[in-house]
Amino acid sequence: MRLSQYFIPTLRETPKEAQIVSHRLMLRAGMIQQSSAGIYSWLPLGLKVMRKIEQIVREEQNRAGAIEVLMPTIQPAELWQESGRYDDYGLEMLRIKDRHDRDMLFGPTNEEQITDIFRSHVKSYRALPLNLYHIQWKFRDEVRPRFGIMRGREFLMKDAYSFAIDAEAARIEYNKMFVSYLLTFKRLGLTAIPMEADTGPIGGDMSHEFVILADTGESEVYCHKDWMNYSLDAGEVDYNADLQPIVDRFTELYAVTDEKYDAADCPVPAEKLMTTRGIEVGHIFYFGSKYSTPLGASVADETGKQCDVHMGSYGIGVSRLVGGIIEASHDDKGIIWPQSVAPFDAVVINLKPGNADCDKVSEQLYQQLLAAGHDVLLDDSTDSPGAKLNAMDLIGIPYQIVIGPRGMKDGIVEFKIRKTGASQDMSPDAAGQAVLEHLAGQDTI
């Protein structure tokens, strides 16, 4: 993509309303624009990042055996009245009426909707276990929407829902999602720590929230320092095997948010305890028959007896992750994207459009990287060299090739790595090859 034909409305100054790093950088990088309080338009750069995150989430859900559907944003109130949550959910639910005066709502979550789908079509234990998910916009009418997309009213979310014949089978499905989340966040370049959590309005008796560490996080986090040495590789995971040992390994170390922290009862010695802040990016729940019983979601077991199915739900804030990644990965120049979700793989920066040598080499490198199958930005704008370099650091594209008239006199360009700040002068051919070699290892964060 040529920058002269693209739309990235960057800002030099930080808008006054931006209170946290991700909000400031997303506005300055031209990723979003506020439409109303807590509601944003996603501009091309922000949308590209969000779609890449969405695809990684989708791939890992599919790999774990979940099946994608798509449910509506507007739901009938009757379903929520059946479950008993319509009046209990509170003012965060946006309640509306259609032209026939029927009570409707803009879905904040989908337990009732998915249970209705299940009860309409599944009648036998032979169809179990089943896990259905979708990636859809949600709306929760926050009293104080703030921090940009981190606590907005409208957000994109992946929510999955599992159905099993009993508690034991439901735990197997829970473990699959637990492990899937570990792999998902690793692919996003994040260390996400699973922590025991309250179930809140979702309900249930088992829950973990996945928290990424960031100095600007909304919650205080207390965890064992050894957490920083924990990692899970995809090659370790067989979804047809018993995943409990993996779950045990990632829950044996102490990790809680401030809601569950008790200094008098903390089992970790002070020298091993890390106190920091974190951002919740995922939450999983097991809630048994909380929804299946009132909504009549039952199947015939092996004996023909009707049994209410056991359910779990599993959420990942897809749009929230855009801000979460920025909070965890930035410097004073701007965003540092993990390669897996960067809006472009690399950028070729022509410091002097109109200069024959600069134009020729910029075009050659641009076409070379495109031909190799990479998503490349060519900065052919007429901005000053300083403005160009500052904008690309702000946007956070992982690899930069800078072509200027001075270097062209000696037949060299500059190759830069955004994450480390390393740079090196080399021939254009060597710079193109350097980008390709780094991109070949893009899954290594």
Residue 438 has φ and ψ, to the nearest 5°, of -70, -40
Nearest-angstrom CA–CA distance, 411 and 425: 10
Residues 6 or more apart whose Cβ sits within 8 Å of residue 419: 336, 398
Quick one: pLDDT band at residue 151, thresholds 50, 70, 90? confident
Per-residue DSSP letter, 151: B
Asked whether the predicted pLDDT for residue 443 surpasses 50, the reply is no
Position 79 scores a pLDDT of: 96
Beta bridge partners, 400, equal 347, 416
Left, alpha or beta for 179 (phi > 0: left; psi -120 to 50: alpha)?
A: alpha
- How many other C-beta atoms are found inside a 10 Å radius of the C-beta of residue 356? 10
Of 24, 30, 61, 27, whose CA–CA distance to 45 is shortest? 30
For 233-279, what is each residue's pLDDT tens digit? 999 999 999 999 999 999 999 998 888 888 999 999 999 999 999 99
Mean residue pLDDT across the chain = 93
Asked whether the predicted pLDDT for residue 110 surpasses 90, the reply is yes
Position 361 scores a pLDDT of: 98
264/134: higher pLDDT: 134
What the block records as the tokens of 314 is 């599993």
Lowest-pLDDT range, 18-22, 28-32, 300-304, 382-386? 18-22
Residues 6 or more apart whose Cβ sits within 8 Å of residue 445: 186, 189, 338, 339, 340
Asked whether the predicted pLDDT for residue 442 surpasses 70, the reply is no
Position 162 scores a pLDDT of: 98
What the block records as the tokens of 225 is 């320092």
Residue showing tokens 């319509």: 86
Position 15 scores a pLDDT of: 84
Asked whether the predicted pLDDT for residue 30 surpasses 50, the reply is yes
Q: Over range 46-51, report the average pLDDT.
A: 98
Asked whether the predicted pLDDT for residue 200 surpasses 60, the reply is no
Position 444 scores a pLDDT of: 39
- Domains along the sequence of the chain with CATH: 3-335 (3.30.930.10), 344-440 (3.40.50.800)
Position 13 scores a pLDDT of: 87
Asked whether the predicted pLDDT for residue 445 surpasses 50, the reply is no
For 211-240, what is each residue's pLDDT tens digit? 998 877 888 999 999 988 888 999 999 999
For 408-429, what is each residue's pLDDT tens digit? 999 999 999 999 999 999 999 9
Nearest-angstrom CA–CA distance, 322 and 42: 11
Q: Over range 63-75, report the average pLDDT.
A: 98
Nearest-angstrom CA–CA distance, 350 and 440: 24
On whether the CB atoms of residues 419 and 398 are closer than 8 A, the answer is: yes
Position 411 scores a pLDDT of: 96
Position 394 scores a pLDDT of: 97
Asked whether the predicted pLDDT for residue 210 surpasses 60, the reply is yes
Position 102 scores a pLDDT of: 97
Nearest-angstrom CA–CA distance, 9 and 25: 12
pTM of the model: 0.94
173/146: higher pLDDT: 173
Position 333 scores a pLDDT of: 96
Nearest-angstrom CA–CA distance, 51 and 311: 28
Quick check: helix, strand or coil at residue 417?
strand
Nearest-angstrom CA–CA distance, 386 and 440: 30
Asked whether the predicted pLDDT for residue 203 surpasses 80, the reply is no
Helix H or strand E encompassing 116: helix 111-121
For 359-371, what is each residue's pLDDT tens digit? 999 999 999 999 9
> CA torsion angle for 397, 403, 406, 409 (degrees, to 10)?
150
Quick one: pLDDT band at residue 163, thresholds 50, 70, 90? very high
